[in-house]
Chain A
Amino acid sequence: MFKKGVRVDFWSFITLISLIFFGMFLVYPVSRLVINAFQTQEAAGVFSLDNFVKFFSRAYYRKSIWQSVVVTFSATALVIVIGVALGYITTTFQIKGIKLINILIIISMFSPPFIGAYSWILMLGRAGVITKFFNNVLGIQLPSIYGFRGILLVFTLKLFPYIYMYTKGALKKVDKSLGEAAESLGYYGLKKVLKVSLPLITPTILAGGSIVFLRAFADYGTPRLIGEGYTVMPVLVYNEWLSETGSNAYFASTIAFIMIMVAIVVFALQNFFSRKNYNMNMLNPPTPKKITGIGAFFAHFYVYALTFLSVLPTIYITVISFRNFTNGSIFAEGYSFANYAAALEKAGASIANTFKFGIAAIIVMVLLGTMFAYITVRRRNVFSRFLDACVQLPYVIPGTIFGLMLLISYNSGFLVLTGGSTLIIIAYIVRRMPYTVRSSAAILRQINPSIEEASLSLGYAPMATFFKVTMPAMVSGIVSGAILSWITTIQELSSTLMLYTSKTSTMSTAIFSEVNRAAYGTASALSTILTVTMVASLLLFFKLTGNADIDM
């Protein structure tokens, strides 16, 4: 197995452990899912395409894939237009309060999507405050928020920050003199943007677009809450697994398999179209220009309105959380902490679980993730390339499906893990570790390998060298990556929903079930607790990284 000259050391050991970990909790579950997809409930163990036939022959199922793709593509297109415009405006013109705007946009980017959906329902739903206001006071019947429109609204407001961040990052790398050169050649205004700036950042926008697509495609919470009759694929998988007529793991696997195929195709297309990445000499970074007059008004209006809409759901939920309710769902007079008291009483264990699972997961993510980053950066070989692919894979596997995979793999057989907290923590680790790995790997690439060699030459073994020299030098990258892992872990919904039991519910599943039971008071209190935790973590992140930017 080892070529002559390849030494077996600490890192071989870590590579082995990583291979076992990903083998057990990623490769094996994926292969179980694929094998399941080609069997049927009735004749388990026999290869069959019946489930695929069933899926594509029934209008109900065909419709779900169609609806998934339509709403996802619409959202992605809308998000690209809105996000690119925002990115362009904020890098080209001086906008007052841009720092705060950035922080608010990042906060909205990292707030759980299902809370957005639920908040919009409270505002624009059948009994929503805005709906009622229009109906009762103005006599106008607002169009229904449920279904396609609602999903599109939530997705767009939730996901445009990604494109905004990508666009901003890319535009900042376009040398100012390029624009000046274009102007000297007679291109100005919109023409200059379309002919010069836009083509240069297109690969980056496409990369962002595919991330947006995959997020929207995988989201379970939003379409489940606001979609009503508009069924999309993640909801279908969940329903098939937990249907009233008895769960069908095989058919659910088939749908999941089709979903992953769609995701992989999108990922591959994006890779194909953004192969071309321009290397530019960066001498003069672009500086925002001062604008005046009507242009300034429109620019500010656009930025402020968009920011307001993106944080509105969070603000509204926070306000609601202090309102008094009768029977949990009907507004009563006055404000108090009653909802928080009720939430703590009903869902205290869920709050505790969120932190317990999150902390357990983050410890493993930091340890494994940093060593892992080390292997992929410093020890390039066939194993580390394979591990690198394993870290990327969760990007294309929706949470619901990942939960399903773990369930069918560890429900029975040589290792039973279902029902406990282990599997939930493992799901968090596999799904959220990429943040830690990417951030750690990025900083490791900037560290000169010879400081490690210096440590080795001074008599420290590879493991001691890593903990005494490499890891301390990586600390800022590890921490900022870990905070992003942490933020996304504590609000994880889709795979937790598949894996949790009454004893292992978390804040996000508690919010979800409270919303389902129309217990809006406790739901909003829990959402606020979750949001505050998230915002506090983000502020810590900004403080540590020293700026209000997230490198995408």
Chain B
Amino acid sequence: MAVAIHVNHVKKQYEDNVVIHNLSVDIQKGELFTLLGPSGCGKTTLLRMIAGFNSIEAGTIAFDDKVINNIPVHKRNFGMVFQSYAIFPNMTVYRNVEYGLKNKKLSKEEIQKRVEEVLEIVQLTEYKDRYPDKLSGGQQQRVALARAVVVRPQVLLMDEPLSNLDAKLRLEMRTVISQLQKDLGITTVYVTHDQEEALAISDRIAVMNKGDIYHCDTPERIYSRPYNTFVANFIGSSSMIDGVVSSVGETTKIRMETGLEIEMNNLVPLEAGREVLVAVRPEEFVIVEEGQGMKGTVKLKQFLGKCIQYEVCFDNGIVCEVSSDTNSAPRIYEAGETIYMSVNTKRINVFDKTANTTLIEGVYSNV
């Protein structure tokens, strides 16, 4: 049932405006694949090309071995969940879900059985005779989901399905979606701009910007070893500190602009004098004893419960976000105090300053 999706060198343009230049990606059978990126990065455009709502100007998209470029939307056999839900306003919940099945040559009993089954799964059985305007956002979302999967499509496409829900419902629906997807084993392409959501539900993520995929990998690898500075900044936030390779040999030493020299043993071979960017996430800073590491001044302190957030100003006026775990913190610093810090060299990332791509060994964009 489930198929793999092969996107091969596709191009999309509106009039003279090229939105996607030349994009390729392979989505594996049965996985939940997320297109993640800021608005305008082309993620929805790509999704709509797979759906067939957008034309493809060059290249091919195939379900398994079958190129679908010229197959009209209604013959592509996919289910879609829209950002606005797109529930038919003139039909009840039951009729909405049943709609796609009525088009297939199925017996009445079979249709009824499948509709009731799926309504049970999304917990809407008691609402089946209601009209959409009498449903909450979360319920409408469930109808949309049920309507898309009840036809047992080859592919499930989801366009920012949770963006109209409040925070609590979003968490709840995230679980529903990811559970349903696993149970059905259906190849799913999921579009979102919310990095946390993407990390939580995806088997693999493609981070997109300006119509290109910058990095495609599992959530863990994307988070811990971002391929370039854009990905590092988009997934979580990192302080980007200029640095220079000071010596090479057994290990590579980098002198950071903040005054700290670090020793790295997971970098690709580099020559001394190479300019780099050291990306440090707030939790990758380590508070050390007085006189060690680099010296900084606390500009701002915010106590958030499980962690404490500082804004620390180092040499050369460089300000970094620092987060310290409440349980393991030696003590709490107040604004104005002097603090000495180092970084966790096993966790931090180093990028080439001109190319903005990673210098960590064994990290690929997979594009």
B-binding residues in A (CB < 8 A): 4-7, 9, 448, 450-451, 453-462, 464-465, 468-469, 472-473
Contacts and interface: CB of A to CB of B under 8 A. Distances in A.
A462 B88 contact: no
14 contacts: A4-B55, A9-B72, A453-B53, A453-B80, A453-B82, A456-B73, A457-B78, A457-B79, A457-B80, A457-B148, A458-B74, A458-B147, A459-B151, A461-B74
Interface string B141-152: 000100110010
Contacts of A451: 86-89
A465 B151 CA distance: 17
Given A4-B57, A454-B80, A462-B74, A472 B90 contact: yes
B100 interface: yes
The 7 closest A-B pairs by CB, nearest first: A5-B55, A458-B100, A450-B86, A456-B73, A450-B82, A454-B86, A457-B80
B104 interface: yes
B334 to A, nearest CB: 46
A451 B86 CA distance: 4
A450 B82 CA distance: 7
Nearest to A452: B86
Nearest to B77: A459
A516 B203 CA distance: 84
Nearest to B148: A457
Contacts of A9: 72
Given A4-B57, A6-B55, A450-B82, A460 B74 contact: yes
Given A6-B55, A7-B55, A459 B75 contact: yes
A465 B73 CA distance: 12
B17 interface: no
| Majority secondary structure of chain A interface residues (helix, strand, loop or mixed) | helix
A458 B82 contact: no
A459 B88 contact: no
B84 interface: yes
B99 A457 contact: no
Interface residues of B, number: 32
B314 to A, nearest CB: 47
Contacts of B76: 457
B51 interface: yes
Contact of B89 (A464, A465, A473): A473
B56 interface: yes
Contacts of A454: 80, 82, 86, 88, 144, 147
| Majority secondary structure of chain B interface residues (helix, strand, loop or mixed) | loop
B103 interface: yes
A225 B90 CA distance: 50
A473 B90 CA distance: 6
A405 B40 CA distance: 51
A4 B59 CA distance: 13
A459 B51 CA distance: 12
Given A453-B86, A472-B90, A5 B72 contact: no
Contacts of B103: 458-460, 464
Given A458-B103, A465-B74, 15 more contacts: A450-B83, A450-B86, A451-B87, A453-B80, A453-B82, A454-B88, A455-B88, A455-B99, A457-B73, A457-B79, A458-B99, A459-B103, A461-B74, A464-B103, A473-B90
A448 B84 contact: yes
Contacts of B78: 457
B88 A469 contact: yes
Interface string B87-121: 11110000000011001100000000000000000
Interface string B140-178: 000010011001000001000000000000000000000
Given A459-B103, A461-B74, A450 B84 contact: yes
B100 A459 contact: yes
B324 to A, nearest CB: 46
Nearest to A451: B86
Given A448-B86, A451-B86, A472-B90, A457 B51 contact: yes
B80 to A, nearest CB: 4
A448 to B, nearest CB: 5
Contacts of B77: 459
A456 B90 contact: no
Contacts of A460: 74, 103
Interface string B2-31: 000000000000000000000000000000
Nearest to B82: A450
A450 B160 CA distance: 13
A458 B86 contact: no
Nearest to A457: B80
A517 B39 CA distance: 73
User: Most chain-B CB neighbours within 10 Å: which of A451, A457, A473?
Assistant: A457
A83 B51 CA distance: 53
A171 B86 CA distance: 34
Contacts of B73: 453, 456-457
Interface string B48-77: 000111011100000000000000111111
A4 B70 CA distance: 11
Nearest to B81: A454
A4 B72 CA distance: 14
Contacts of A468: 99
Nearest to B103: A459
A546 to B, nearest CB: 16
Nearest to A7: B72
